[in-house]
Amino acid sequence: MKIHLKIWRQKDRQTKGAFKDYTLEDVSKDMSFLEMLDTLNIKLIKSGERPVEFDHDCREGICGQCGVMINGIAHGPLKHTTTCQLHMRSFEDGDTIYVEPFKAAAFPIVRDLKVNRSSLDHIIASGGYVSVDTGQAPEANSIPVTHEQAEAAFDAAACIGCGACVASCKNSSAALFTSAKISQLAQLPQGDKETSKRVVKMVYQMEEEGFGHCSFTEACQVECPEDISVLNIARMNYEYNKARLLKK
């Protein structure tokens, strides 16, 4: 099929960016979206143009490194799918596709479609863990965790850290990402001891990094490739308020 592309090109943070038009004639339906970009890049390189820089690594939907806005939607039209898992069969012959980077104040642009998402790491570093050193662990079965507890914790733990929730939020809030980690650990006996400390630190860090406030539009869950539930945000708010109250 024939595909028209309008891709955001931007040399670096200092330079102004703009959309550029490209057309690909022989796109196969079985290609992934990124393989389509690979094809474009080979064409660009051979014609002496700079290829489009974009982020990706595993190409199987688990590392969270890929992610662009496709026609205004984070990771594109297919629900609960990362950019790398999106295939061209989701498009029609003759379609025009807009491709832009994830945009947020806390995600400064690196080049073209690449952005810097280290701010998400900073949130985890502020408290998204259980404080246990190597060697301190007790026998694994000495802390039973019910099947339901483990499954619920897993649902939250499945976040891949892609940042689509931020990009899809009109406030650029990282509430879904942050709450997923808080919620995972709060639901496990290993992690719940530190919940109140953790939630205060992580929420503080989230603001520090320049992410916006959550106004509960729920756009994030819709575009989240892992379908992380917005109920995690409610739990985070609950834990946060509880921690503040207890502190007073």
Shortest distance in whole angstroms from residue 220 CB to another protein: 19
Q: Which residues contact 221 (CB under 8 A, 6 or more apart)?
A: 165, 176, 227, 228, 229, 230
Nearer to ligand SF4 (CB atom), residue 7 or residue 123: 123
Note whether 161 binds ligand SF4 by CB under 6 A.
Answer: yes
Shortest distance in whole angstroms from residue 91 CB to another protein: 14
Q: Is the dihedral of CA 178, 33, 49, 24 positive or negative?
A: negative
CB under 5 to 8 A by kind: which of ligand FES, ligand SF4, another protein, none does 147 bind?
another protein
Shortest distance in whole angstroms from residue 168 CB to another protein: 19
Note whether 177 binds ligand SF4 by CB under 6 A.
Answer: yes
* Category of 154 on φ-ψ map: left (φ > 0), alpha (ψ -120 to 50) or beta: alpha
Q: Tell me which residue of 9, 210, 209, 13 sits closest to 110, measured CA to CA.
A: 13
Is 17 buried (19+), middle (13-18) or exposed (0-12) by CB count in 10 A? middle
Shortest distance in whole angstroms from residue 149 CB to ligand FES: 27
Region from 14-22, 60-68, 90-98, 190-198 binding ligand FES, contact rule CB under 6 A? 60-68
Q: Which residues contact 21 (CB under 8 A, 6 or more apart)?
A: 4, 5, 6
Note whether 59 binds ligand FES by CB under 6 A.
Answer: yes
Please give the residue ranges that form the binding site for ligand FES (CB under 6 A): 56-59, 61-66, 82-84
Please give the residue ranges that form the binding site for ligand SF4 (CB under 6 A): 159-165, 176-177, 180, 224-226, 228
